[in-house]
Structure 1
Amino acid sequence: MKQTKTIESNLKELELNSLLEVTEAINNNLPEESLYKIYHFTLLANLKVKKLALFVALEDQWNCKVFFGVDSEVIEKIPVRDFEGHERIQTLEDSECIDFDHIIPVMHKKQLLALVFVGDIAETDHGISGNSATTFLEALTNIILVAIENKKLARQQLEQEAFKKELEIAKQVQNYLFPKDLPATDSFEVAAYYQPHHNVGGDYYDYIQIDEHKFLLCIADVSGKGVPAALMMSNFQASLRTLARQTVDLETIVSELNYQIKFSGNGEIFITFFAAVYNSETKEFKYVNCGHNPPLFRGNKGSIGTLKLGTTVLGMFAPLPFIEIGILNDIKNFDLFCYTDGLNEAINQEEEEFGEEQIDKIVEDLIDTCPHELNETMMQAVNQFRDGKEYRDDVTILSAKFKS
């Protein structure tokens, strides 16, 4: 009897020392890998566990984080999902898992965190459900895994805070991306509408007054969404504005923009782009379309057409395989409607797209109205069509009306 008490006393001392060691490791904020190593050593050396496999639930997958006493081939054959319904320590039948004697579910707030398979573990007279080594193993596993779970939650919180800061910076950057003032006179009016898919987006439009007679209008859409797209587009805008101060030659502008996107984006980021330069003195309207949705154009009160000439999307090839600049002469008056594909690809509850045909019809019906009214009516139509269905992409519209 005295010898039994001594054994139990020694076991309790080992268990206490193990808990102290684990607690100290957690307080020292050791990484997950170190905690698993301490867990491994404690069970193998201190508690004399002969066989063990610890499976942790991670993103709907079971990952074996610690195992010893069995080969890796045995681990791969364990049907872990068959034991997900267990909530208490269970004895395993030979047919279920021949290499292990017991399975220990590790729960936290009614959530299954892990499953521990153990074999050849020493038990006391109290049995498997009493104050045995297996019960202590359950407690030790719970402490380790809850600590790791808390570390994960803390890390996610830090990542979310960092993302919020990044998002706030991107918002501030994007506030400077679009022109603060657009022309609004009896002879020349430009109106724009912008709605990002998320808090920040990858669409861009601009109006750049080059001199007394010339101005540039443009619209662009970068592949991707969110913060990376917004930051790439801010670089694109800075490059375009710098180039526009040096030249109004559209072939030079798109060639240089393509080069910068190709190498700054490592060939993984592409931008569709449309730009037009109008000279009110010579009445010449020049444009280039780089893989963008063809804008709708009406000159001198004629019929409405599309502006398709140009090249492929920017950032895909260096140099561009071809460039064809569109030139329209004797343009005394014009109407221009540009948009990004978030508009035509908007879907309704039946997963049907708004489509280019509806856009064309609305523009044709309202081409004589002011750009602001045209944009507003277009958005009312697409919102009614969506019937609450979320947009799939950023939506940008740029409309212009010029009368000599």
Structure 2
Amino acid sequence: MQFNEANSGEDDLIRLLLKRQSELNSLLEITRAINKNMATPILIQMLEVICQNYLHVGRLRFLIEDEGSFVCIAKYGGDFEPTGDLHKACQQLKKIKEPASIADSKDPILSQYDYFIPIYQQNKAVAYALIGNFGSSEAMVSNDLNFMQTLINVILVALDNKKLFNQRLVSERYHREMELAGEVQNMLIPVRTHK
């Protein structure tokens, strides 16, 4: 009897170690893609693949804040709801700051999901994930939700960095065009010096 319990404990430990290794490999692949400056759709597709195949999430909605409104950038599983309706449903949960179960929600949209994962930056909600048909074991739910939150945070930081980089490029291009316009203007209308 003790031998079986010891083997069971070892098996659980081996499964946990393999799961941790898979999590690290997933994070490594995401960060490699970010470092290669992969396009946003590829990063989102990677998130979906990890959620579907590794974390056994059957239904996902991932909304991010973009210039004052929320857009759904990843969705699979079930009937798709309008983004505005999803955002309104998530707004009901704005007091929740950590991943939480919403399976018992009275809201018709939220009740179709198992978990809600809010992402906050500087006390401002910048993203929401709704997870449904979640195949995680009870012992691993908290770990899996935290891992999803980590993945989403990494991807959000990468998307923010892309946005900042593009804004900087636009600003540099504008300044260069203004310098060039000034040079052309000086060539067309030379500045006269009075003697």
Output the TM-score relative to the length of structure 1: 0.41
Instruction: Select which of 113, 135, 142 maps to 2:126.
Output: 113
1:290-369 matches, within 5 Å, as none
> For 2:111, what is the secondary structure of its paired residue?
coil
- Is the Cα contact below 8 Å between 2:118 and 2:127 reproduced in 1? yes
1:89 equivalent in structure 2: 99
> For 2:44, what is the secondary structure of its paired residue?
helix
- Is the Cα contact below 8 Å between 1:102 and 1:117 reproduced in 2? yes
Q: 1:179 to 1:9 in 2, by over 3 A?
A: closer
Cα-to-partner distance string for 1:57-90 (whole Å, 9 max, x where unaligned): 0001100000111222365632233344432222
The alignment status of 1:125 with 2:139, answered yes or no, reads yes
Q: 1:4 to 1:76 in 2, by over 3 A?
A: farther
> For 1:105, what is the secondary structure of its paired residue?
strand
The alignment status of 1:13 with 2:24, answered yes or no, reads no
2:49 equivalent in structure 1: 41
Q: Distance in 2 between matches of 1:8 and 1:85?
A: 32
1:116-265 matches, within 5 Å, as 116-121=129-134, 122-125=136-139, 128=142, 132-176=143-187
The alignment status of 1:100 with 2:103, answered yes or no, reads no
Output the TM-score relative to the length of structure 2: 0.80
Residue type of the alignment partner of 2:69 = Q
- Is the Cα contact below 8 Å between 1:123 and 1:134 reproduced in 2? no
Q: CA RMSD in A?
A: 2.2
Identify the structure with the greater strand proportion.
Answer: 1
1:374 equivalent in structure 2: none
Identify the structure with the greater helix proportion.
Answer: 2
- Of all paired residues, the percent bearing the same amino acid is 27
> For 2:131, what is the secondary structure of its paired residue?
strand
> For 1:95, what is the secondary structure of its paired residue?
coil
Q: Distance in 2 between matches of 1:24 and 1:117?
A: 26
- Shift, 1:177, TM fit: 5.3
Residue type of the alignment partner of 2:96 = H
- Shift, 1:5, TM fit: 2.3
Instruction: Select which of 67, 72, 75 maps to 1:59.
Output: 67
- Shift, 1:142, TM fit: 0.4
1:190 equivalent in structure 2: none
Residue type of the alignment partner of 2:139 = D
Cα-to-partner distance string for 1:201-240 (whole Å, 9 max, x where unaligned): xxxxxxxxxxxxxxxxxxxxxxxxxxxxxxxxxxxxxxxx
Q: Distance in 2 between matches of 1:3 and 1:74?
A: 44
- Is the Cα contact below 8 Å between 2:114 and 2:131 reproduced in 1? yes
Q: Distance in 1 between matches of 2:18 and 2:138?
A: 13
Q: 1:173 to 1:127 in 2, by over 3 A?
A: same
> For 1:98, what is the secondary structure of its paired residue?
helix
- Is the Cα contact below 8 Å between 1:108 and 1:146 reproduced in 2? no
Q: Larger Cα Rg: Structure 1 or Structure 2?
A: 1
How many residues of Structure 1 are paired with residues of Structure 2 in the alignment?
178
Q: Distance in 2 between matches of 1:27 and 1:179?
A: 48
Q: Distance in 2 between matches of 1:176 and 1:85?
A: 61
> For 1:65, what is the secondary structure of its paired residue?
strand
List runs of 5+ in structure 1 lacking aligned partners: 182-404
> For 1:72, what is the secondary structure of its paired residue?
coil
- Shift, 1:179, TM fit: 7.6
1:2 equivalent in structure 2: 10
> For 1:169, what is the secondary structure of its paired residue?
helix
Cα-to-partner distance string for 1:299-353 (whole Å, 9 max, x where unaligned): xxxxxxxxxxxxxxxxxxxxxxxxxxxxxxxxxxxxxxxxxxxxxxxxxxxxxxx
1:200 equivalent in structure 2: none
- Is the Cα contact below 8 Å between 2:70 and 2:83 reproduced in 1? no
Q: 1:84 to 1:62 in 2, by over 3 A?
A: farther
- Is the Cα contact below 8 Å between 1:52 and 1:118 reproduced in 2? yes
List runs of 5+ in structure 2 lacking aligned partners: 1-8
